[in-house]
């Protein structure tokens, strides 16, 4: 979907004012900074409290000593932090807007700016990601997207279209502008490079920034993006209707074990390695109906209604009125605690919460709405009409903004786990293919997609799932061979494109513990192929091939 004309007009008006102001400001500060150390701040941290920024109030400007820091409302401290200047503020571009943001400025600055995305419906500053950013020397910023709430709660959107716009894209852009002004004031130099990294809604945000405001950043890490928001949340409702169609359709833990074991038995060996990981779900066709209980079976089988529910999830949301709304979920690892039980089938299924909040507060303005009773086709069409142009990051028009990214030497690295039960990996493949259709193989010049076998939503899962992403546990390797942001930075700054990224599986998914397995993650459509010699747990024994 092309972006809304309203969004383009707003960008043109706001951008023209801000870019002129910032260009003059940065030119002056850059000239002043010649010959100065990047870490020599001419403005003290506390003086930033008096910084005058458009539509912005600075609420905090204070030095945080090295060690631990506990943000307001957090249940645990963020540890192993370097000394930094913490600046917090609120941006109010409209009377209904209250965009909270923070920028953390490390004493040992590497000259770069990093902005972190959110998850779910946002509602909080991504403090943990900010801590990871400054630990690597980035001036790092994040926003609450214009509201304060739990990540599954969209009640703030009821009857407030300006807050929906803030959530959709405005908070991201204004946070980038204001935070860079803070950076320039503190260090007396503008960032020499700027990056955005996010997963889930943060992946949507990353693509949104790339599509609407390609001048804000030099590179984008796009993780498991909820880029077609209206399609995805409709598909969540579709799945919830499937598993609640009748009492016999509920996919119990036992049913999920039956499904998962059948898929592994059917598809594990198709990549040439039997390791309990489905590495090629695109060539794995599950057959739930083959698992229906026969007359003499009472265990390790499915009821007809369970088989029908599983098939609906694998197939994806489709109606006669709309055609295909969303691709289905790939087969594999259904019984993993963080996969289908957490997202689709459990008593607190996240897909139920997200779809209910979306349609109740963003589409129908009806807090008592139940997704079990909505008509899928009607709901999708209503969502598209009301909020699609604001929330969807579906613009693949390479003749405009994505073309500007390629022409300007800017880069995108997009990753997604094959065992993601929140957002279908097939959606990421669809987006990549849409770009490739416009550019052919030339899209590899600026945009590469990496798919991780056995990885869940943004992290976790039974496969090698750590590529240093901000959503992974702290302590990950930071070199470009193992770290997605490091790979992006090297591609942007040194022109070295990532031909693979090594993913690591740690014991208990804790980088402080033993490495269990490594595997090269290849740029799609390539796959990792075992050479035939050596341990299958060692990335060195695989090569990237196109099958």
Q: At what angle do helices 253-267 and 304-315 cross, to 10 degrees?
A: 60
Q: Tokens 């786990």 belong to which residue?
A: 417
Name the burial class of residue 481, with classes exposed (0-12), middle (13-18) and buried (19+) by CB atoms within 10 angstroms of its CB. middle
Euclidean distance between CA atoms 366 and 483, whole angstroms: 44
Q: Among 368, 467, 464, which residue's Cα sits nearest to residue 413?
A: 467
What are the Cα distances from residue 386, in Å, to 165, 195, 303, 382, 524? 12, 31, 39, 6, 34
The bridge status of strand 193-199 relative to strand 139-143 is unpaired
CA angle 75, 78, 81 (to 5 degrees): 165
Q: How far is CA 305 from CA 187, 223, 244, 330, 375, in A?
A: 63, 34, 10, 20, 20
Residue whose entry in the numeric block shows the structure tokens 């139940």 = 370
Q: Which residues pair with 302 in a beta bridge?
A: 292
Pair 421, 339: CB distance under 8 Å: yes
Q: Which entry of 173, 414, 457, 482 is annotated as an active-site residue?
A: 457
- Please say if 416 is a catalytic residue: no
Nearest Cα to 357, choosing from 166, 118, 123, 146? 123
The verdict on whether omega for the bond into residue 484 sits within 30 degrees of 0, i.e. cis, is no
- With beta carbons less than 8 A apart as the criterion, state whether 127 and 74 touch: yes
CB 421 within 8 A of CB 229: no
- Give the SS3 label for residue 108: coil
Please tell me which residue in 420, 424, 428, 500 is annotated as part of the active site: 420
SS3 of 69, please? strand
Residue 537 near residue 517 (C-beta atoms within 8 A): yes
Cβ atoms of 487 and 480 closer than 8 Å:
yes
Residue 74: C-alpha distances to residues 85, 134, 390, 471 (Å)? 19, 19, 30, 17
Residue 383: phi and psi, rounded to 5, are -65, -45
E runs forming strands in 65-192: 67-69, 78-81, 84-91, 99-106, 112-116, 139-143
**Can you spell out the DSSP letters for 480-544?**
TTT-HHHHHHHHHHH----S-EEEEEEGGG-TTS-EEEEEEEPBTTEEEEE-SSS-TT-GGGEEE
Closest CA to 76 of 88, 86, 68: 68
Q: What are phi and psi of 80, to 5 degrees?
A: 60, 40
482 included as an active-site residue: no
Catalytic residue from among 18, 116, 194, 200: 200
Judge whether 144 counts as a catalytic residue. no
Q: Catalytic positions, please?
A: 200, 420, 457
């Amino acid at each position: 979907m092309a972006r809304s004309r309203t969004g383009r007009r707003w960008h043109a008006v706001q951008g023209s004012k801000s870019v002129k102001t910032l260009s003059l400001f940065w030119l002056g500060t850059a000239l002043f900074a010649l010959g100065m150390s990047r870490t020599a701040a001419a403005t003290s941290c506390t003086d930033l409290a008096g910084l005058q920024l458009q539509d912005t109030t600075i609420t905090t400007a204070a030095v945080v000593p090295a060690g631990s820091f506990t943000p307001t409302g957090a249940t645990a401290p963020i540890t192993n932090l370097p000394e930094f200047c913490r600046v917090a503020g609120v941006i109010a571009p409209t009377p209904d807007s209250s965009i909270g943001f923070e920028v953390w400025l490390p004493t040992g600055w590497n000259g770069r700016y990093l902005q972190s995305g959110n998850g779910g419906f946002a509602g909080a500053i991504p403090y943990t990601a900010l801590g990871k950013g400054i630990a690597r020397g980035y001036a790092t910023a994040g926003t609450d997207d214009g509201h304060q709430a739990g990540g599954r709660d969209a009640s703030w959107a009821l009857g407030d279209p300006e807050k929906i716009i803030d959530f959709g894209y405005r908070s991201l852009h204004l946070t980038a502008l204001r935070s860079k002004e803070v950076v320039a004031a503190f260090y007396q130099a503008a960032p020499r490079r700027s990056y955005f990294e996010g997963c889930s809604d943060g992946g949507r945000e990353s693509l949104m920034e790339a599509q609407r405001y390609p001048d804000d950043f030099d590179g984008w890490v796009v993780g498991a993006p909820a880029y077609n928001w209206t399609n995805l949340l409709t598909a969540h409702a579709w799945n919830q209707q499937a598993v609640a169609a009748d009492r016999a359709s509920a996919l119990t833990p036992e049913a999920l074990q039956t499904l998962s074991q059948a898929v592994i038995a059917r598809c594990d060996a198709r990549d040439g390695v039997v390791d309990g990981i489905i590495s090629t779900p695109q060539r794995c066709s599950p057959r739930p109906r083959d698992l229906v209980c026969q007359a003499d079976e009472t265990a390790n089988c499915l009821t007809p209604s369970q088989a029908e529910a599983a098939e609906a999830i694998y197939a994806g949301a489709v109606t006669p009125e709309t055609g295909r709304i969303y691709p289905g979920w790939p087969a594999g690892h259904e019984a993993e605690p963080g996969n289908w039980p957490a997202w689709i089938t459990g008593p607190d299924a996240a897909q139920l919460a997200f779809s209910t909040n979306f349609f109740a507060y963003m589409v129908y303005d009806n807090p008592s709405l139940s997704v079990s009773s909505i008509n899928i086709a009607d709901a999708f069409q209503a969502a598209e009409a009301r909020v699609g142009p604001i929330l969807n990051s579906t613009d693949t028009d390479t003749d405009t903004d994505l073309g500007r990214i390629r022409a300007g030497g800017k880069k995108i690295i997009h990753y997604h786990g094959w065992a993601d039960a929140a957002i279908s990996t097939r959606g990421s493949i669809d987006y990549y293919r849409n770009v490739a259709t416009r550019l052919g193989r030339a899209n590899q010049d600026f945009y590469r997609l990496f798919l991780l076998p056995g990885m869940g939503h943004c992290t976790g899962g039974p496969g090698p799932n750590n590529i240093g992403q901000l959503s992974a546990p702290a302590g990950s390797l930071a070199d470009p061979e193992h770290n997605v942001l490091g790979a992006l930075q090297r591609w942007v700054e040194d022109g070295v494109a990532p031909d693979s990224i090594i993913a690591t599986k740690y014991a208990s998914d804790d980088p402080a513990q033993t490495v269990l397995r490594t595997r090269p993650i290849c740029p799609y459509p390539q796959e990792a192929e075992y050479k035939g010699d050596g341990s299958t747990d060692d990335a060195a024994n695989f090569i990237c091939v196109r099958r």
